Structure formats: structure tokens, C-alpha cells
Amino acid sequence: MAAAKKKTAPKKPARTTQKGKTAIITGVTGQDGSYLAELLLGKGYQVYGVMRRVSSFGSTGRIDHLLDNPNFHKVYADLDDGPSIDALVAKVKPDEFYNLGAMSHVRVSFEVPRYTIATNTLGVLTALEAIRQHSPHTKFYQASSSEMFGDPGVPVPFNEKTPMIPQSPYGVSKLASYHLVQQYKNGYGLFATTGILFNHESPRRGENFVTKKISLAVARIKKGLQDKLELGNLDAKRDWGWSPEFVEAIYQIMQHDKPDTFVVATGETHTIREFVEEAFKHVGLNWKDYVTFHEKLLRPNEVPKLLGDATKIRKTLGWKPAKKFKDIVREMVDHDLQNL
């Protein structure tokens, strides 16, 4: 008699999903942090979004749609409160730590220089030390800025090798943290990486940055809710990109096979005046009828012209921007017209 067929245990179903990576994002309530959280959640990450306790309504406006996502974990911590960052890193031991939190307003940094250095420089040191002590496998990304350049005597375009001579407490704070990143990479072998991002905008841009101030004012003027728009220096030139695209660059920098530094920019520069003109033209108005000048909006020091050379990231990681200047202006104005 043929031997009874041996019963075999049913095959386990093949795993269809990999265990998600974990990431901490500081600055998750900000423009870039909110887009980055969406990007990482879309890739299956467990995201720990660092938030500060604030008394006002609306500080989570950019991430309210993520708060119920089971993979999004809201955590209270503060770059100015070392123990909270230290404890968070020790507990989560994340695969990746994106440090986007900062006092990010250049003009305000002249009014609160010490606070700016505390958050933007000592905060970075706190995060790097926490990783070194508790979780040395964690990859670290630092949000560096084109404001680390800025000396009018240095010719544009700026790349990774351009001398950095910042013109504001904000620029100084970012340059100091840039050097800390190099120190922790070279001295301790951490995967500490950074992107030198030129200005990047979106409908989620903070309302006291010039692009959002303009798009919001144009929408309000068009709807009869405002008469005038007060601005400062219209001659400054900026290399404006699109935040969701720049956040994709941040992610790619973190996935590179070694920690490195990359300029992220569009390679085009425009004056503030051109932005204003395009925004008003888009709704059929002449900017000269509405824009007034106020010297309170000038800075003690200005970076007159920013233009980036993103050749390295294009050649190494294949990243390049798609959104053009006029589309950025128009999308921001259209968004504000629809959402007032």
C-alpha cells in the first residue's frame, strides 16, 4: 500500500510588505516638514513628527490631515530642550533623522540672534550628540541654506565649493551647524548629510516670507479685502524652487550610498519685483497701483543675489527641478484665491 501522503504545513503567505523604516522629523509642522511627512508615509515609514507645544490655534494646519494616520506619531519635543531630543532618539533609535526644525526667518534673526543660534546651531549639536550616544546607525539630514553664502563679492552661481560668508545671524547659525555636521561625519563616522537648499516655496509657505505675503495680498486685493501691499527691497534676486520637489531631493540625499553635501537649486534667479509683477498680472492688475515701500522691511544686511548651481545633485542622484518660476507664482496665487 502506498504510504499515506505526508501532510505538509500550509505555506506561510509571502510577506507582501516590508517592515517600514522609522524616521524622526523635526519641523514637521512647517512647510517642508509637512511635505516630507507625506512623502515618507507614502513609502511606508513610521514617522515621528516633532512638535512644540504652542498656545495658538492652527499650528498643525499643514499636517492636520496626517494626525489620524496610524503610522504618524506626534511627539512633543523641542530643539531648545536637549533632554527631550535625547530621550526621543534613545527611545525610537530611528533609521533616519531629518532636522528641518529652525528659526527660519532671516530678518527676524536680526531681532533674536541668540535664540536663532540656540535653536539652529545648538539644536543641531543636541541632535547629533543624541545620535552619537544612543543610535549611531541613524542617518542624519541637516537643512542647510543658501543664506550661508551671500557675500556680494563672490560671483554666482554658488556651488558646494563656493566660499561661505553669511550676512545674517540666521546664515551664521546655519553655517555653524553645517560645520558640526562635517565634524560628526568625519570625526565619528556618522552618516551625517546635508543639502544646501536655495529658496523654495509652495502654498504652504509661511505668511511672512515674501512670496506667500505677495500671493496672499494679491488674492485679498482681487477680492476687495485689502488695498495695499507693503514691501521692502524689491531689487534682491532669489533662486526660487518648488518645495515638494526640493523635499524629494532631501529624501534622495538621505538615500545616497554615502553622506555628502549637495546644493539644491533651480539655476534661475528673479527679482522680488518680477515676482510681484507676475503675481498681479496673473489676476489682471498692475502692481504699481498697489505696492508701497516701507523701510522697516529692510534688513541690516541683505543678500543681494542668490543663484545656485545644482550640477552635482543632478549628475550624482539624477535630481532636477521641473516647476518653472511663472508656474510657482501662479499656483501660489490661485491657491490663495481659492482658499481665502
Q: Which residues contribute to the site for ligand NAP (CB under 6 A)? A: 26-27, 29-33, 50, 52, 54, 59, 78-80, 100-104, 119, 143, 145, 197, 199-200, 206
Which CB atom, from 99 or from 104, has the smaller least distance to ligand F7E?
104
104, 135, 144, 145: which is the annotated catalytic residue?
145
Stretch that binds ligand F7E, among 142-150, 218-226, 277-285, 321-329 (CB under 6 A): 142-150
Residue 119 binds which entry of ligand F7E, ligand NAP, none, CB below 5-8 Å type-dependent: ligand NAP
- The cell numbers describing 173, all together, are 547659525
Residue 101 contacts which entry, ligand NAP, ligand F7E, none (Cβ below 5-8 A, type-dependent):
ligand NAP
**What whole-number distance in Å separates Cα of residue 203 and Cα of residue 187?**
40
Is residue 145 flagged as an active site residue? yes
**What's the rounded Cα separation, in Å, for the pair 87 and 82?**
9
Determine which residue in the list 130, 131, 231, 279 makes contact with ligand F7E, applying CB under 6 A.
231
Among 297, 315, 327, 340, binds ligand F7E (CB under 6 A): 297
272 binds, among ligand NAP, ligand F7E, none (CB under 5 to 8 A by kind): ligand F7E
Residues written for the chain:
340
Q: Where are the beta strands (DSSP E) in 214-257?
A: 229-231, 237-238, 241-242
Sign of the CA dihedral running 69, 74, 79, 85 = negative
CB count within 10 Å of CB 71 equals: 14
Could you say which residues in the range 202-221 bind ligand F7E, by CB under 6 A?
A: 208-210, 213
Residue with cell 516655496: 201
Closest residue to ligand NAP, judged by C-beta, is: 30
> Does the annotation count 98 as an active-site position?
no
Task: Let me know if 147 is a catalytic residue.
Answer: yes
148 binds, among ligand F7E, ligand NAP, none (CB under 5 to 8 A by kind): none
Q: Among 48, 109, 144, 147, which one carries the catalytic annotation? A: 147
H/E run at residue 22: strand 22-26
What Å distances lie between residue 258 and 72, 185, 213, 245, 309, CA to CA? Answer: 27, 10, 38, 21, 21
Nearest Cα to Cα of residue 338 among 245, 227, 223: 223
Bond into 157 cis (ω within 30): yes
Pick what 229 binds: ligand F7E, ligand NAP, none; C-beta below 5 to 8 Å, kind-dependent.
none
Q: At what angle do helices 325-339 and 210-222 cross, to 10 degrees?
A: 50
Catalytic residue selected from 48, 170, 178, 184: 170
Site for ligand F7E in 92-121 (CB under 6 A): 104, 106-107
CB 338, CB 205: distance < 8 Å: no
- Identified binder of ligand F7E from the candidate list 199, 202, 261, 266, rule CB under 6 A: 199
Cell numbers linked to 253 = 540625499
Distance in Å, CB of 252 to ligand NAP, minimum: 16
* Cα 145 → chain centroid: 9
Angle between the N-to-C axes of helices 82-92 and 123-134, in degrees from 0 to 180, rounded to the nearest 10: 30
Question: Is 232 a residue that touches ligand F7E (CB under 6 A)?
Answer: yes
Summarize as ranges the residues that interact with ligand F7E (CB under 6 A): 104, 106-107, 145-147, 198-199, 208-210, 213, 231-233, 236, 238, 272, 297, 299, 302
Which residues are catalytic, by number? 145, 147, 170
